[in-house]
Amino acid sequence: MVDNNPDPGWYFCTKHNTVEHGSVCPAGDRLGPYPDKETAGRALDIAKARTEAWDKADKKWEED
């Protein structure tokens, strides 16, 4: 059975600093999708942690 009305997901709009359900703002202004509103609300923290992890991995790769 095909779900004709799938959940549009949760996003964080970096332009308005707000959590959105579905495609409210343009894609270039959004982070996500996230599985729920609470996770979308932590989008900036999640992005920061991922960036720090990637930077650490890049530094380790360059040193090896």
User: In this predicted model, what pLDDT tens digit does every residue of 2-11 receive, in sequence order?
Assistant: 666 678 899 9
Give, for 64, the enclosing helix (H) or strand (E).
none
Residue 4 lies in a domain: no
User: In this predicted model, what pLDDT tens digit does every residue of 16-52 receive, in sequence order?
Assistant: 999 999 989 999 999 999 999 999 999 999 999 999 9
Residue 30 lies in a domain: yes
Residue 59 lies in a domain: yes
pLDDT at 5: 65
Query: What DSSP string runs through 5-54?
Result: S----EEEETTTTEEEESS-S-GGGEEEEESSHHHHHTHHHHHHHHHHHH
The residue segments making up the domain with residue 21 are: 10-63
Residue 5 lies in a domain: no
Q: How far apart are CA 22 and CA 62, in angstroms?
A: 39
